[in-house]
Structure 1
């Protein structure tokens, strides 16, 4: 009964059935959260864990059928590692190795040349959760003085039960598309601590509905405009026949609309977390905060003219996970650029094995490097500093924003088209303008500094 109905709905919306299943599954989180608030908030932890586990498994079965066994296997193996290996470096390395290899094997055996919604999609979210769990359990055995404030907040002082790990892994608000959160946060949710009124369900309905409304608006924008900017258009003779400026503007608009696919899912899922209480983040300046599970800063995403601003506003919890468990733990290398490159390499293979991912993230590293040099130039140059605060700035902002949006979409061509033959064809059609632009800026920067930065300030910078 359900399958024919879903087929009808997907045909009427013009969306693939797996995408309809995914959106419905995220939306189902809202009645689940309401049920938890109304009937289970004061129940024993065992009952709550069983509820969260059963809801998550049901969603996994609804979307991926019998393939849910992949997540079950990885959860059970992770639990056994915690129990049998204890708080050891061996346990952390074993967890990282097993979970990463399992995910990469999934990518390898299910890979196609299109973006498919399959079991590996929630599994990459689960992989971070389970590896993070091993890090947090390991940190729980250290002296508090050895831990950073965020490590203290997440450290586990005792080994969790299998039921806890399952409830944490399959929590309906974060199982399919994220966000990332720690087991310690989940334990606080189950204990009823994540609320603005102790002993009662949180007053989070209004904040949750605001995020739902914003996410639904983004979903509408994507649903309405995405048919006009399909990935497949890049491979047509019609695209190649368009003038250069049109091909560039298409990349800009295609990327801007396409990213709403991710924005809408993350913001709607965040609303589920807020409604349940998991999004509660304490009090700041006398106001209760509900952004503990925020995976998007939508206003920053829409208004920033900086590539670093887009990265800071997008997939926040995943980036925070990589910063906490990869970048900062590589401090022993004593080399920030190397730690940064290693973190980006991890993010690359975490997304998949297609060549497009490698090109996208290497391009991201190069763009951010050039942007930082450009920002330093503006700060050090009296002329550019005056221009940045002059009445001409609105015009400068518009130009900067156009460049930002255009070249934000440029690396995403490789990210979304996956394979070498597809993205190379598109980049050739626009004469590799993104690569050329940033290479020229990078090579010009020393000469621009010499021309625009006073000699005294250049000497001071060298001495620093």
Structure 2
């Protein structure tokens, strides 16, 4: 893949009549590297793996035929989406469909394992066709070459130019919407897109290999939301096979994990300067979004930090417009690729987003920041108040409950801060210490020592320690599951409110 990237950049002239194989190679990199890690995990003690890694682990290396079948799986070979070998193995052995109720299986005399998926696949196909039609119509309105003409600057005002770039960015996304949705439809049709049966709604879920959510992206009110809706399986790969792997065992992912994820994502996309311009500005943009959300959004909410004021609709609309316009600016180098031409493109709109970013940092990180910022402790108190467990664990003292609860909540909160698609917020890159102590582990250690001492256990009482530790971890797991459920409910509530 790296050879192809370099070759296309330095030794080849772009020819639209020649198929670019780098896309298929990028998918193979995702699948083969994930496969390698899964084989590695299959050789590790089960207790040392996370629940995700345990579910992906390969304990017996497959033969050549299933390996090649996975690697060159026809439905997603050229465009993705990528998926782990465990999903493919469950698919070809039909264990993926074990939870399908007997009365929901197709066939009268001979029941089939794979549920009917024709309608769901056809919906994806129609969505892909819809975006394909737009893909052929939008170029009649906008094109990249016009940005570099004198007429673009001399005959059109500034607002027209930034909205023109927004429409260009929309045009760039259309081809991805088209190919990804059609590929998802192919995966659903063959069955590997199956993701379980919902007993409450009595419906099947077909989003196992979903790669994009066009509506969520186009209506996204912040950078993080948009990136989470884009190239979703690549984001999973970066998280589970780069970000978390770089961190040392027992340590939370920090500066090193963030930098490695950022560099891997950028290099995976290619070696052209335009990719790096987009990624660097995207990192700044995520931080700007956090600063606004932290210091402006609370002013449009009631004192509980959740209930919106009537003026919240104005905030939402402005957030949506500004986010979409910002993406129109940021993605231009990603398509133009050339460094000088990318800067020239930005120059036609006076580098407006870079000016906004610099101004935002001056306001919220400069010498007068105290006059504009809302104290973090106050806003965090409001948000965490919504997810405090309703009951304390009766088997732990009040102090032990507080220690474990704080550790669990901090751990859950961090799961929302992984750099999406490798584009980190600058918060990840500052105030970091390589020797920083993992406070959550320290809290759990103190809670364990307290729990152990209350049970009058000596260090040489192996059986007693083993039983006590088993009970202690059981209490933590129960609190973790309960708190995670509270986080999930709160997140759903905020999404409905928004």
Normalised to the residue count of structure 2, the TM-score between the two structures is 0.67
1:228 CA drift (Å):
2.1
What is the distance in 2 between the residues matched to 1:455 and 1:273? 45
Q: Is the aligned partner of 1:434 residue 2:353?
A: yes
Do residues 211 (structure 1) and 124 (structure 2) align? yes
**Other-structure match for 2:187:** 273
Superposed displacement of residue 371, structure 1: 1.2
Q: 2:260 aligns with which of 309, 328, 342?
A: 342
- Tell whether 2:347 aligns with 1:395: no
Counterpart position of 2:42:
140
Which is worse superposed, 103-112 or 395-404?
103-112
State whether residues 194 and 202 of structure 1, in contact with CA within 8 Å, keep that contact through their aligned partners in structure 2: no
CA distance in 2, matches of 1:420, 1:454: 40
Which of residues 12, 21, 26 in structure 2 aligns to 1:124? 26
Counterpart-to-counterpart distance in 1, 2:25 and 2:380: 52
Q: Helix, strand or coil for the counterpart of 1:254?
A: helix
Assess if the C-alpha contact under 8 Å between 1:256 and 1:405 holds in 2. no
Q: Is residue 417 of structure 1 aligned with residue 336 of structure 2?
A: yes
Instruction: Give 1:163's match in structure 2, choosing from 65, 68, 73.
Output: 65
Aligned counterparts of 1:133 and 1:459: Cα–Cα separation in 2: 39
Query: Structure 1 residues 121 and 109, CA, compared in 2 at 3 Å: closer, same or farther?
Result: farther
* TM-score of the superposed pair, with normalisation by structure 1: 0.72
Deviations 1:118-144 (A, max 9, x none): 111211111111111111111111122
Deviations 1:159-185 (A, max 9, x none): 122212211111111101100111111
Confirm or deny: 8 A CA contact 1:103 1:124 kept in the other structure: no
| 1:92 counterpart residue number | none
Question: 2 CA distance for matches of 1:289 and 1:423?
Answer: 42
Deviations 1:413-445 (A, max 9, x none): 110000012111111111111111112112211
Kept after mapping to 2: 8 A contact 1:103/1:127: no
Aligned to 2:239: 323
User: Over the residues paired in the alignment, what is the CA RMSD in angstroms?
Assistant: 2.8
* Aligned equivalents of 1:298, 1:249: Cα separation in 2: 19
Corresponding position of 1:48:
none
Matches within 5 A, 1:222-241: 222-241=135-154
Per-residue CA deviations over 1:188-207 (Å, capped at 9, x if unaligned) read 11112334437433211111
1:190 pairs with 81, 88, 92, which one?
Answer: 92
Specify the SS of the correspondent of 2:74. Answer: coil
1:257–1:420 Cα change, 3 Å: same
The 1:112/1:369 distance shift into structure 2, 3 A limit, reads: farther
Q: Structure 2 CA distance, aligned partners of 1:185 and 1:415?
A: 32
Are 2:230 and 1:314 aligned?
yes
Distance verdict in 2 for CA 1:456–1:121, change over 3 Å: closer
How far apart are the structure 2 equivalents of 1:229 and 1:163? 47
1:20-59 map, 5 Å: none
| Preserved CA contact (<8 Å) 1:188 1:194 | yes
Range 288-297 or range 234-243, more displaced: 234-243
1:236 CA drift (Å): 2.0
CA pair 110-154 structure 1, distance change in 2 beyond 3 A: farther
The answer to whether the 8 Å contact 1:106/1:120 transfers is no
User: Paired residues, what number?
Assistant: 362
Q: Sort the Cα spacing of 1:419 and 1:206 in 2 relative to 1 into closer, same or farther, 3 A.
A: same
Q: Distance in 2 between matches of 1:320 and 1:454?
A: 33
CA gap of 1:250–1:430, structure 2 versus 1, over 3 A, is same
Question: How far did residue 386 of structure 1 move?
Answer: 4.1
Describe the SS at the equivalent of 2:221.
coil
1-side partners of 2:295 and 2:281: how far apart? 21
1:341, distance to aligned residue in structure 2 (A)? 2.9
Offset, 1:224: 1.2
SS at match of 1:173: helix
CA contact (8 A) 2:300 2:312 kept: no
Query: Partners in 2 of 1:458 and 1:275 — Cα distance?
Result: 46
1:264 aligned onto 2:166 = no
Contact persistence 1:377–1:449 (CA under 8 A): no
Rg larger for = 2
Distance 1:349 1:201, change over 3 A: same
SS in 2 for 1:118: coil
Q: Deviations over 1:99-119 (max 9, x none)?
A: x64454554566546887411
CA contact (8 A) 2:294 2:374 kept: no
The runs of 5 or more residues in structure 1 that have no matched partner are: 1-99
CA apart distance, 1:235: 2.1
